[in-house]
Amino acid sequence: MISVPSWQALLFVPVGAERHLANAIRLRPDAIILDLEDAIAPAAKPEARARLRSAQQLIHAAGVDCVIRINTQLRDVVDDLAAVDIDHVAALMLPKVEDIRGLQNVTELTGGKVGLIALIETPAAVQALPAIAAFPQLVGLMLGSEDYAASLGVSPDGGSLAHLAAQIGVAAAARGLLGIGFPGSLANFQALDLYASQIAQGRQLGLRTVAAIHPAQLPVIRNALAPTHAEITWATKVLQAHHAHEGAVLAMEGTMIDAPVIQRARNIMRAMHAQARPQEI
């Protein structure tokens, strides 16, 4: 049985970039995504594969989860997976997933031992989203904002991704998966106010995990996904009233407090406590 991790902030690092990897480990994201796909030129992929296991060992020794983004073509997938230390990987990220065939191939090659994250990056993937989300080894759905916007011929910051973000949020919630991403460009590592507002919008659409490409984005992710003071105050009042009335349905400040409202309050408090753990060593 593949369990779904409780990640919030992820950080991409190209395989072979030792200085970037050391910095990523120091900053302690919930998981480091070792990238064998877009960050590695085709001619450099064999060398990157040769260096993959040593990078995995460093991440494992630091007590940080490791994700590996593999390539798309089946021949590359076979070579990528031959280089992976399956015992030290928390999930494999598959780019440009448009149906379940690639997921099936990776599951067969790994013996179903590792969870999968499907990158939703094309209109064809949206049409197949229910089938993709239902795949047994899946632990997450991620919005590939740059590729998806390019396929539409639009800017990822122009508002066109909000509908897809909502679809991914719903599909992930229905299956208990991680909903990863936000309706905007992942490349906004200097326009951090814009980045934060887009993450906050994604949070309201059900996306509660975000991947970064630059260390400066990590604290922005955590702040944008953290419950607000108003939310924490509201949740505290709801749970106090719930306990005081021994679980009965009640009214508080003109609002009925029943099971779904109580669950939302508990989720807010759970998110608040998750923010309290130390992030840097």
State the pLDDT at residue 167.
97
User: Which range (5-9, 112-116, 219-223, 233-237) has the least confidence?
Assistant: 233-237
Two structure tokens written together for 73 = 């073509």
User: What is the rounded (10 degree) CA torsion for 253, 254, 260, 265?
Assistant: -20
The torsion angles phi and psi of 143, rounded to 5 degrees, stand at -75, 115
- What value does the mean pLDDT take over residues 261-280? 67
Centre a 10 Å sphere on the Cβ of residue 17 and count the other Cβ atoms it contains. 18
Average model confidence (pLDDT) for the chain?
Answer: 91
| CA gap 181, 186 in Å, rounded | 8
Whole-number pLDDT of residue 279: 47
Tell me the three state secondary structure of residue 189: coil
115-120 β-sheet, strand order = 178-180, 138-143, 115-120, 91-94, 65-69, 31-35, 9-14, 210-212
pLDDT band for position 247 (50/70/90)? low
Helix locations, 142-228, DSSP H: 145-152, 162-175, 192-204, 217-225
Instruction: State the pLDDT at residue 189.
Output: 84
Per-residue pLDDT reduced to its tens digit, 137-174:
999 999 999 999 999 999 999 989 999 999 999 999 99
Give the confidence band of 275 by pLDDT, cuts at 50, 70, 90: low
Task: Pick 208 or 268 by higher pLDDT.
Answer: 208
pLDDT tens per residue, range 14-26: 999 999 999 999 9
Is the pLDDT assigned to residue 128 strictly greater than 90?
yes
Average pLDDT over residues 38-50: 95
Which stretches of 52-137 are assigned E, i.e. beta strand?
A: 65-69, 91-94, 115-120
Q: How far is CA 93 from the centre of its chain?
A: 10
Tokens 């508990």 sit on residue: 266
Q: Which of 161-165, 175-179, 188-192 has the lowest mean pLDDT?
A: 188-192
- Beta-bridged to residue 140, according to DSSP, are 117, 178
pLDDT digits (tens, 9 = 90+) for 45-69: 999 999 999 999 999 999 999 999 9
**Considering the chain, what percentage of its residues have pLDDT values greater than 70?**
95
Q: How many residues does this entry show for the chain?
A: 281
Mean pLDDT, rounded, for 200-208: 95
pTM over 0.85: yes
The CATH topology of domain 9-225 is TIM Barrel (3.20.20)
Asked if pLDDT for residue 93 goes beyond 60, the answer is: yes
Positive/negative CA dihedral, 27, 194, 142, 15: negative
C-alpha closest to that of 91 among 21, 163, 34? 34
Gyration radius from the chain CA atoms:
20
Count of Cβ atoms closer than 10 Å to residue 229 Cβ: 8
With bands split at pLDDT 50, 70 and 90, how would you rate the model's confidence at 41?
A: very high
Q: Where are the domains of the chain?
A: 9-225, 229-275
Name the DSSP letter for residue 30: S
Strand partners, 13: 34
- The whole-number pLDDT of residue 9 equals 96
Report pLDDT for 201. 96
pLDDT of residue 260: 79
Q: What is the pLDDT of residues 209-241, one digit of tens each?
A: 999 999 999 999 999 998 777 777 777 877 877
